[in-house]
């Protein structure tokens, strides 16, 4: 009898641990870790921009508009308050996403403008910064992909069985997370004229 009192709870614990009771919290941790990496890469990009702008400014003085766009977009990104519930707050998430896309577009225009300055393109500081920006953009893409995959796994667990049962009974405060989207403008096929 006494042995049964020990074995039955032990079997119950083993059964519960094998049926996915920990999947939702584990998936949520993966999402938060992936999100932290996305933020880390965006911060890296924001940190590189002042040096890039300063380098370009010396060569492209009459490109003030593009330099101002980059500086303003960086300012919006770095001063934006990121609420703690951003992953479950669609409005805050999409505002963050919009600000980052604006900065990315401004950086892209800046890189395009630099094509007109052969001396700038030959400057070692510029070449180094350009390579770092390009590498960072690639790292951002990878971090976003990892985040998207983590969110897909987490959200799928919340809406499918048995995860749905666990969410309804043990994890009621766990919500579906926001994910990145592609703007309509980015989805348009570019027009090529010869």
pLDDT band at 112 (very low <50, low <70, confident <90, very high): confident
Report the pLDDT value the prediction gives residue 60, as an integer from 0 to 100.
76
Tell me the percentage of the chain whose pLDDT exceeds 90: 59
Chain centroid to Cα 30, Å, comes to 13
Report the pLDDT value the prediction gives residue 115, as an integer from 0 to 100.
82
- Looking from the CA of 45 toward its CB, the CA atoms found within 13 Å total 30
Highest mean pLDDT among 25-29, 58-62, 120-124: 25-29
Please check whether residue 106 is in contact with residue 133, taking contact to mean a CB–CB distance below 8 angstroms.
no
- Give, as one character, the DSSP assignment of residue 157: H
Selection from 76, 48, 65 nearest residue 110 by Cα: 65
Cα distance between residue 178 and residue 152, in whole Å: 10
Cα distance between residue 68 and residue 39, in whole Å: 23
pLDDT, tens only, 72-81: 999 999 999 9
Selection from 178, 142, 172 nearest residue 25 by Cα: 172
Report the pLDDT value the prediction gives residue 15, as an integer from 0 to 100.
60
- The first and second tokens of residue 144, run together, are 């976003």
pLDDT, tens only, 52-94: 988 888 787 777 888 889 999 999 999 999 999 999 999 999 9
């Amino acid at each position: 009898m006494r042995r049964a009192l020990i074995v039955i709870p032990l079997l119950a614990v083993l059964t519960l641990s094998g049926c996915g009771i920990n999947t939702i919290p584990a998936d949520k941790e993966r999402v938060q870790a992936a999100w932290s990496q996305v933020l880390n890469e965006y911060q890296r990009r924001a940190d590189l921009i002042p040096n890039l702008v300063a380098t370009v400014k010396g060569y492209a003085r009459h490109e003030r508009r593009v330099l101002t766009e980059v500086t303003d977009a960086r300012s919006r990104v770095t001063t934006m308050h990121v609420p703690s519930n951003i992953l479950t707050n669609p409005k805050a998430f999409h505002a963050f996403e919009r600000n980052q896309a604006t900065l990315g577009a401004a950086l892209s225009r800046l890189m395009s403008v630099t094509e007109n300055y052969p001396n700038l393109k030959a400057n070692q500081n510029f070449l180094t910064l350009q390579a770092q920006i390009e590498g960072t953009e690639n790292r951002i893409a990878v971090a976003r992909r990892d985040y998207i995959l983590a969110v897909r796994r987490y959200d799928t667990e919340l809406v499918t069985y048995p995860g749905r049962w666990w969410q309804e009974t043990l994890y009621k405060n766990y919500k579906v997370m926001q994910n990145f989207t592609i703007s309509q403008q980015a989805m348009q096929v570019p027009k090529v004229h010869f």
